[in-house]
Amino acid sequence: MMVFTIRFAIAIVILICLQTCVLWGQEHGESNELRYGVYHKLPHHSKYSKRGEIVVTLSRAVAEYSNSGDVLSINDFENADKANNDPYYLIKLVDEKNPENVMESFTKMCLLKASKFEDEIIIHLNRNKVFHFDYYTSADQCNSTFISTSQTADFKTIVQIIKAGSGTRPKLNRALPINPDGTVEKPPEEKSFLQKYWWYLLPIVILLLTGGPAEEPQQQQQQQHRGGGQAARPARQ
Amino acid sequence: MVRLLLETVLILILSLTIQVQYAFGIYADQAGINDWYQQYIGTPKCSFFHRPPNRGTTILIASESNVIASIKPFNGNIEWRQVLEGEIILAFKGHNGTAISVSEHDGYIVRLWEIQTGFMLWEKKIKSVGFNQINSRNGGEVDVVFTADGMNVIVLVGGHVIVNFNNIDGRQIWRSDLAESPTLLHKLVEHNQNIYAIGLKKSSKFYSIEVVTHDVQTGVLKSTSLSSKIGHIKDMIVVGGGSNTGFIVWKEGQYVRVNRLGSDTIEQSSLESLYRNVIPSFAGVIGDLEFVNLNISSRTEFLIQAPTANGNSAAVFKIDLESGRLTALYDLGHRNSTSIYSGALDKSEQLIISRTRLLSKDLVKVEIVAPAHRLALGSHEISYSMAVSGSIKKSLLDVTTKKNNETTSVAYRMLIVSDDGSIHFFKEDSIAWNREESLTHATEVEFLDLPEKKLWTQEVDELDEQSEESETISPFARYVRRLMNHIEQLKDFPDYLITYVQRFATGNYSVDPSPMTKAKTSLYRDTFGFRKLLIFMTRTKLVALDTSNKGQIVWSRYFGGTKSEFQKIFVVRSSTVKYPPVIVAIGVQKNLDKGNITRLFRLNALTGEDFITDHEIVTHTEDNISFSIPTIAHRIFKLPVEEPDERTHIIALLDEDLKASSLKAFQKFSASFYFTLSDGIGGKSLNGYKVAIEKISQPFSISRLWKLNFPEGNTIVAIGHKPNHEKVASLGRVLGNRSVLYKYLNPHIVAVATLSPSTSLDFYLIDTIKGSILYHAVHDNVSPSHPVQIIQVENTIMYHFWSEDQEKQEKGYKVVVCDLYESEKPDERFDNLNFTSFANERPHVNAQAFMFPYGVRTIGVTTTKNGIPIREFLFALDTYQVFGLSKRFLDPRRPQRTLTSEDKEEMLIPYEPTIPDNKKFILSYNLPIYGIRQIATSPALLESTSLVLAYGLDLWFTREAPSKTFDVLSEDFSKGTLLATILGLVVGILITKPPVRRKNINSRWY
């Protein structure tokens, strides 16, 4: 009985800790948002113009793109080819808090048209700081003919986040003992966390079932709020 | 009957076989057969002839490459050498059987060496507390002096600290730290148990001389100041010391003043009287007088030289020991060109002075005089090529005089250091030996393939016919010409046959079967393509070495006269039958008046002569050998396109204002010409550019397409480099179950490593066209004190670094190998058949890490003609060795479990966290190859073999076969057995033929 009381007390403490962590995470999650202006320049333009915005949420490692700024007409893109024989589409990301932090990339104009303005921005994170981005179009060959359905260049942009992986390390494991017949001696199976400490979690489950804190619906709403044409994808790396 | 015959033949064959095996079953030690090794010491900084008691004279040299060496004057061979790596040698001086060196590395290190053996006797460190280290680099503030009894050695370092050591055991007797004093000490003189340190003290515009005196035994200090005004350190000279009194001589206004050390008296003589009365050749002097210190132990003679309108004049002076006055000893007279002087004492302690100067571009004149007797002892003219070595920088004299019946004859020998950094040894009227020490300054090397031998085209050269001649010549005449040529060649056939059989029997392929004596001297490719030219580029010189001739110099040329420094060298046209190979060396001349100039020198790579095409008129520049562009090349590219007329590659230069210049036929290529610029090691960003092709005229303008700023605080510590010749034999890697992993072969990928202040190493794979980061990994706890090395080949990238990770027991050197594949799964490829950097296709990176047993200076990789053998990585180790490690060991697919049958099929080795420190992997066996800066490789004609060159201070060249020599018969293959078997079979057939025929006929009859 005594043992059970102690375990119950421990379970309560863990529960309180978890709750605090969730609340802290929500508070800081909002402040972990980074905003970048997306600017682009066509070959016959002399200046960069704004085309959209990217919001990077560091805590969840997701980023969203939204079109804003001037919308360019299809004619602009058509004219670019004729006016210039060096047709490159230049794009840059500018940190809104720190405008000196500029990242630049490019693609060929014809690729942008061949991909019907479907492009992808891959953001590279290093210790929660954005330092570079890769820019790709969905098409990689210029040969397809471009038939526009609308009069404006509607960018359908996918944003991806890539975090640096940790470098490979030598595996300095202990050598496994081998039986006389040549087979590897199996070490005793280790029990998983749940197998060992299921009784700590039991009261939490009971508490949840008997009507615990109800923050779940709120989170779901937040997730539904996202979407539209600009989907966010988790990192592939 | 038949059976009996057959048995006899069989026994005969067997006995022959046994005989042959005995005769050829000898294995030679391979060391030094496939490889050659050359030791160098570097350009001399301090050098002197030294005669230890009861031994022959040696030349002791401390070099710019920080090597201390003893050279035999007889042949120029190294008796011993000691490489002081990472240190800067500041002073080197000999005394009896020992020599002392002072070098700088985190303080000063004083070492005593035994001259006979080169062993170190003692070493002491002077900690760098309280003195200005920057000053010491300017030279002059470090000096060493031995006391007359040889018991003590006194060292001045940093211009402020004087330390007295016991010469026997290196015990410090006293130390005097004058860091507080504003005087910067330059020179030490010992006389009569006193140590005089002469220094200069800055006071407003001028310097004044300060003399600090110490007692040798006690170190008691006394400082005196001389009333003097000196404009520059060069206006002062200190002579004497040791058994004689020391004197300070300096120039002040129109007077030369002399002070006897230990007294305050100053004697002075007027320059004007010098010009007018004493030295007649000084009458025409137009510039300032310059003191030349002959550095001859305790003697008080010295030289003054002065420029005149058309050359220079010089005279020998002496300080009279009794009166302390300046006396003129001998007027060396006026000569039309700049002279280099040196002095030496003969056996009777008579001073002999040499004056060396260039008479013309191919001739040097050495004049030997004895100033005390006002005698000209000899004059020698020596042929010396300025086009090969440049002008003379330093000379070092050694003399012996012989007296025969009242006539004095002098035998001299002289060490010459030339402008290119090489050493020459003059003896009487000729050069006794040379040491091409300029190779220690080599910054780049190119392998040059030699032309194939096609005698009939070379000799008759039908290809070289002019078109008019081809039209007029009749087919019959042409046939006769060819026939005559073949008959001419027939006379060499017997010789050819003999050499061919010899070669076949012995297996010695170094013997060339070609009979032409001419061919032996000219440069042709050998059977297996092992013979190539190594063209080294130093700052001012090009040197070509023959790989098959133990690295003999084929040609060398000095370009220092054009005042440009070489940046890059390219082979722009390889050897073909008709055309000679062409190299272009690109140098930059920084000229403040006219602006900067980039020069391009085109040379025939086989001879080193200027290459001038038939089709164009070369712009005649002042030196007539180069093209010049009035700008500095920021970066130089060799483009993979050829110019159609001359079949030479095109070179693009990017100048400082970021405008691209290129030779010809560039427009077509420019559409796909992207390039990347960075500040190299220490840089913080990468930038991608494209040449704009709006206008046709040069120079082309460029525009920036992308910019990659590494995270804040990170600096580039290493950039991956690829071997020059890279051919990929297979697109994929075949696994044990016959499926294929397709290699990711992006030619534009570059590996970059950056280090952050928080000691984390970031490793990036970057596409240089698009600026995309294809892979990014972070290693924590990486020390910046060790260099990071990266090498790329095919789809493999390997890097080596020092890890400080003590917690996880991973402190030590690590290598990480990354193999890039198109997909993680076998038999999967990218959708696109044509690779483009514009497609969002990322490689699957398969990486594995290993602990590495050594520190590494640089990494190379073997290259073969078609890339079929497995790659071998060549590590230049900290231990001055070359370590060859097969890709099989550095394979990310090494399984971390017991091998399955599929693994065995793939020939995988089980994973082990450490790379074995196997002595068999050391390719350079017991040779110490010092200072390796780069390992260059080149393919041979044999697919199995790669040519490897390691250079830096030493040169080492070898042939390496990473998958063994599968295309050559092994040495133990018994050719005799094969011959005997064939012979036996022929004999057998001959013997058995008649009985068999008889039997056949009989069988038809009956």
> Residue B10 has what pLDDT?
47
The Cα–Cα gap between B394 and B293 comes to: 13
Confidence at residue A225, expressed as pLDDT on a 0 to 100 scale:
45
The contacts of residue A105 (CB under 8 Å, 6+ apart) are A90, A91, A92, A133, A134, A135, B705, B706, B770, B771, B772
User: Would you state the pLDDT for residue A184?
Assistant: 66
Residue extents of the structural domains in chain A = 31-163
Check residue B61 and give its pLDDT: 94
Q: How many residues does chain B have?
A: 1006
For the residues A56-66, what does the mean pLDDT come to?
A: 83
- Model confidence at B468, in pLDDT bands (50, 70, 90)? low
- Residues B210 and B222 sit within 8 Å (Cβ to Cβ): no
Comparing alpha-carbon positions, the chain B residue that sits nearest to A126 is B711
User: What DSSP assignment string belongs to B617-654?
Assistant: PPP--TTSSEEEESS-EEEEEEEEEEETTTTEEEEEEE
Contact A136 B763 (CB under 8 A): no
Distance CA B683, CA A32 (A): 30
Per-residue pLDDT band for B820 (boundaries 50, 70, 90) equals very high
Of B8-17, B73-82, B99-108, B987-996, the one with minimum mean pLDDT is B8-17
Sign of CA dihedral B886, B892, B896, B897: negative
Tens of pLDDT, residues B506-541: 666 555 555 444 444 567 788 888 889 999 998 889
Question: What is the ipTM, given to two decimal places?
Answer: 0.74
Q: Could you count the other beta carbons within 10 Å of the beta carbon of residue B444?
A: 18
For residues B456 and B514, what is the distance between their CA atoms, to the nearest angstrom? 13
Amino acid at B427: K
pLDDT computed for residue B613 by the predictor: 61
Contact A126/B at CB under 8 A? yes
What's the pLDDT score for residue B924?
Answer: 87
pLDDT for residue B208:
87
- C-beta atoms of A168 and B911 within 8 A: no
Q: Determine the residue among A98, A106, A108, A174 to mutate to test chain B binding: the one whose Cβ has the most chain B Cβ atoms within 10 Å.
A: A106
Check the CA dihedral A223-A225-A227-A230 and report its sign. negative
Q: What is the pLDDT of residue B332?
A: 85
Q: Do A162 and B763 touch (CB under 8 A)?
A: no
Which of B398, B408, B404, B406 shows the shortest CA–CA distance to B428? Answer: B398
Report pLDDT digits (tens) over B610-656.
877 654 444 444 344 556 666 666 677 777 777 666 667 777 777 65
Assess whether pLDDT exceeds 60 at residue B139.
Answer: no
Which residues of chain A are within 8 Å of residue B670 when distances are taken between CB atoms?
A: none
Residue of B150, B180, B164, B67 whose CA lies nearest to B110? B164
Least Cα distance to B68 among B96, B38, B24, B98 occurs for B98
Q: Do residues B566 and B540 make contact, with C-beta atoms less than 8 angstroms apart?
A: yes
Flag if B778 and A165 touch (Cβ within 8 Å): yes
pLDDT in tens, B117-126: 999 999 999 8
Tell me the nearest-neighbour CA distance from B780 into chain A, angstroms. 8
Q: What angle do CA B57, B63, B66 make, to 5 degrees?
A: 125
Give the number of other Cβ atoms within 10 Å of residue B393's Cβ: 15
Element containing residue B237 per DSSP (H, E): strand B236-240
Over the stretch A154-211, which tens digit does the pLDDT of each residue have? 788 888 888 888 888 888 776 565 555 556 666 667 778 888 888 888 888 888 888 7
The predicted pLDDT at position A212 comes to 52
Chain A residues touching B770 at Cβ < 8 A = 105-107, 134-135
pTM: predicted TM-score of the whole model, two decimal places: 0.81
Q: Per the CB < 8 Å rule, is B810 touching A85? A: no
Q: What is the rounded CA–CA span in Å between residue B484 and residue B491?
A: 12
Q: What is the pLDDT of residue A1?
A: 52
B interface mutation test: which of A86, A89, A132 has the most B CBs within 10 A? Answer: A132
Mean pLDDT of chain B: 82
CB of A134 within 8 Å of any CB in chain B? Answer: yes
Q: Under an 8 A CB cutoff, do A131 and B706 touch?
A: no
Q: Which of B187, B172, B170, B158 is nearest to B88 (CA)?
A: B158
- pLDDT grade, residue A34 (50/70/90)? confident
Q: What is the 3-state secondary structure (H, E, C) of B755-772?
A: ECCCCCEEEEEEECCCCC
* Helix (H), strand (E) at residue B989: helix B975-1005
Residue A3's pLDDT band, with cuts at 50, 70 and 90, is low
Q: Which residues in chain B have Cβ-Cβ distances shorter than 8 Å to A124?
A: 773, 776
Counting Cβ atoms within 10 Å, is residue B960 exposed (0-12), middle (13-18) or buried (19+)?
buried
* pLDDT-based confidence at residue B317 (cuts at 50, 70, 90): confident
Task: Write down the pLDDT at residue B136.
Answer: 42
Q: How confident is the model at residue B70 (pLDDT cuts 50, 70, 90)?
A: very high
Average pLDDT over residues B728-739: 90
pLDDT for the residue B232 = 82
| Cβ–Cβ under 8 Å, residues B819 and B846 | yes
Say which residues have a Cβ less than 8 Å from residue B789's Cβ, sequence separation at least 6: B718, B799, B800, B801, B856, B857, B858, B859
Whether residue B607 is predicted with pLDDT greater than 90 in this model: the reply is no
**Secondary structure E strands in B577-736:** 582-589, 597-604, 626-629, 633-643, 648-655, 659-662, 674-678, 685-691, 700-709, 715-719, 732-734
Label residue A230 by pLDDT band (50, 70, 90).
very low
Q: Looking at the partner chain, which of B693, B707, B849 has a beta carbon nearest the beta carbon of A168?
A: B849
B869-904, pLDDT tens digit by residue? 999 999 999 999 999 999 999 999 998 877 888 888
A24 touches chain B (CB under 8 A): no
Confidence of residue B130 (pLDDT cuts 50, 70, 90): low
| pLDDT above 70: residue A84 | no
Residue B844: count other Cβ atoms within 10 Å of its Cβ. Answer: 16
Measured CA to CA, the distance from residue B865 to residue B942 in angstroms comes to: 7
C-beta atoms of A170 and B814 within 8 A? yes
- Check pLDDT > 80 for residue A226: no
Q: How confident is the model at residue B105 (pLDDT cuts 50, 70, 90)?
A: confident
The full length of chain A comes to 237
pLDDT at A235 exceeding the cut of 50: no
pLDDT of residue B460: 53
Distance, CA of B638 to CA of B573 (rounded, Å): 11
Query: Taking CB atoms and an 8 Å cutoff, what residues of chain A touch B838?
Result: 107-108, 111, 136-137, 140
Q: How many CB pairs under 8 A join A and B?
A: 120
B376 pLDDT higher than 70: yes
Among A156, A161, A124, A160, CA closest to A139: A156
* Chain B residue numbers touching A105 (CB-CB < 8 A): 705-706, 770-772
Q: Looking at this protein, which amino acid is placed at residue B997? A: R
CA distances, B372 to each of B77, B316, B667 (Å) = 35, 9, 72
Contact B913 A171 (CB under 8 A): yes
* A31 has pLDDT over 70: no
pLDDT at residue B741, rounded to an integer:
93
Q: How far is CA B899 from the centre of its chain?
A: 46
- Highest mean pLDDT: which of B50-59, B197-206, B772-781, B807-816? B772-781
Alpha-carbon dihedral angle through residues B506, B509, B510, B513, given to the nearest 10 degrees:
90
Mean pLDDT value of segment B331-338 = 85
Cβ of B896 within 8 Å of Cβ of A132? The answer is no
pLDDT higher than threshold 80 for residue B912: yes
Give the model confidence (pLDDT) of B159-170 as tens digits.
888 999 998 888
Do residues B320 and B295 lie in contact, with contact meaning Cβ atoms separated by under 8 Å? no
Asked if the Cβ–Cβ distance from B771 to A134 is below 8 Å, we say yes
